[in-house]
Amino acid sequence: MKTQSPTQSDSSTTPRPSLWTTLKAFPRPVWIVFLGVFINRFGTFVVPFLALHMTKLGFSIKESGMALAAYGGGHLVASMIGGHLADTIGRRNTIVLSMFSAGSVMLCLSQAESLAAIASLACLAGITAEFYKPASSALLADLTANENRVTAYAAMRFAINAGWAIGPATAGLMAQYSYTWLFVGDAITSFAFGAIAWKFLPSLRNQNREDWKNVGKAFSSIATACRCALSDGRYLRFLIAAFGPAIVFMQMSSTLGMEIQAAGYKETVYGCVMALNGVLIILIELPLITITQRFKATTAIAIGYALIGGGYCLFLLGDAIAVYAAGMIVFTFGEMIAMPIAMAYAASLAPEDMRGRYMGVYGLVWGCALTVGPAAGLALFELSPDLLWIACGGLGLVSAVISLDLFPAAQKTSESGCPAPNPEIASST
């Protein structure tokens, strides 16, 4: 009998509704999340250009990598804080707190000049700008049925990449006049998302209002979620496999800009290559997931991971703009295949009362990649750009193999003390 993934329903007995029918059925708060992440992603001006900004200030490539690593360190903290807050003070309140604090930090970062100040504020920016993500991901899972989550996450990625399609290109134009405008624009869009979330998103909590004030309880809550997530062999294998592609992803906002600049091109070329990623996702991803979600989740994820690494390997062919565009196209197809299903897979494996924290654990993997990926990539790029792109291809391939059901995974035992898995999930594995 064919095995279904946790993100799939039995299409043999129930016809799958059309994409348009599924989208129309989403409640209003889901569309508010889409609008908010679009605005926020459009305004993600600073991080992709932070390394270039620092080199213009006179810092070395290594020092620029340290600042990006500091941002990644903040992301590590943010993933778990955000997951805990999402499960306690609520999804909406977490998003609002994240966005208003992130905008304020970005304005402070625009005035930093020393390496210590930039790194410290970059770390704080990583915390504030990223801890809304577990809340937004968990809120989508709260508001959509299991069989519609792949579509919901794909639609959120559509919104994210609609902003990404025009944001970096806009930032590239702004950077030619003043990098300060990047920080101001980033802050304004963060404030806008926070205001929209406060006004229009529902306020939902799983626990008492006072829980978030108890620091000891917060750490215990986070530790319990980590223990439960890591005791599930399926989820642990999923997390390990996600780390390699996450490392590759981080090169987009660090070494890719250095590669294009070293080839003699201006910031606008870098912005347009990144924007190609968003344009393709806008045009193709939603129709594509109507096909890819029919396959076993782990198989689709593996194919996507292999393409993510393989796309960057194409940079070995030369430094023409066409080569960079071709590499980004292959990379983007891998992203479109893997990422919506991966997010739905993670949400579906999570116990309902720990969903925010489970998404935080998934975000922790990306935080680790953001901490080590840019710095390691920049160091390897300085040694040999070709070696970096070969390493990216290798990471994608290894992650693809891990994603497949090649290795036995120990399941959670009754002695673990963790909530039982969703019956719908248990029956599908």
Long-range contacts of 328-332 (CB under 8 A, 24+ apart): 328/273, 328/274, 328/276, 328/277, 329/276, 329/280, 331/248, 331/277, 331/307, 332/276, 332/277, 332/280, 332/281
Of 47 and 428, the one with more pLDDT: 47
Averaged pLDDT of the chain: 82
> Where are the chain's structural domains?
25-201+217-405
Q: 227-282, pLDDT tens digit by residue? A: 777 777 888 899 999 999 999 998 987 899 889 988 988 878 888 888 888 788 88
Q: 18-65, pLDDT tens digit by residue? A: 788 888 889 999 999 999 999 988 888 888 788 788 888 888 878 888
What pLDDT shows up at residue 31? 95
What pLDDT shows up at residue 145? 85
Lowest mean pLDDT segment, chosen from 158-167, 254-263, 420-429:
420-429
Lowest mean pLDDT segment, chosen from 119-123, 172-176, 207-211:
207-211
pLDDT higher than threshold 80 for residue 424:
no
Tell me if the pTM is above 0.85: no
Q: 397-416, pLDDT tens digit by residue? A: 999 999 987 555 444 443 44
What pLDDT shows up at residue 419? 54
What pLDDT shows up at residue 221? 62
- Measured distance CA(196)–CA(164) in Å, rounded: 19
Q: How confident is the model at residue 417 (pLDDT cuts 50, 70, 90)?
A: low
Q: 172-181, pLDDT tens digit by residue? A: 788 777 888 8
CATH for 25-201+217-405, among 3.30.830.10, 3.20.20.70, 1.20.1250.20, 1.20.1630.10? Answer: 1.20.1250.20
What pLDDT shows up at residue 388? 95
pLDDT higher than threshold 90 for residue 418:
no
Q: How confident is the model at residue 294 (pLDDT cuts 50, 70, 90)?
A: confident
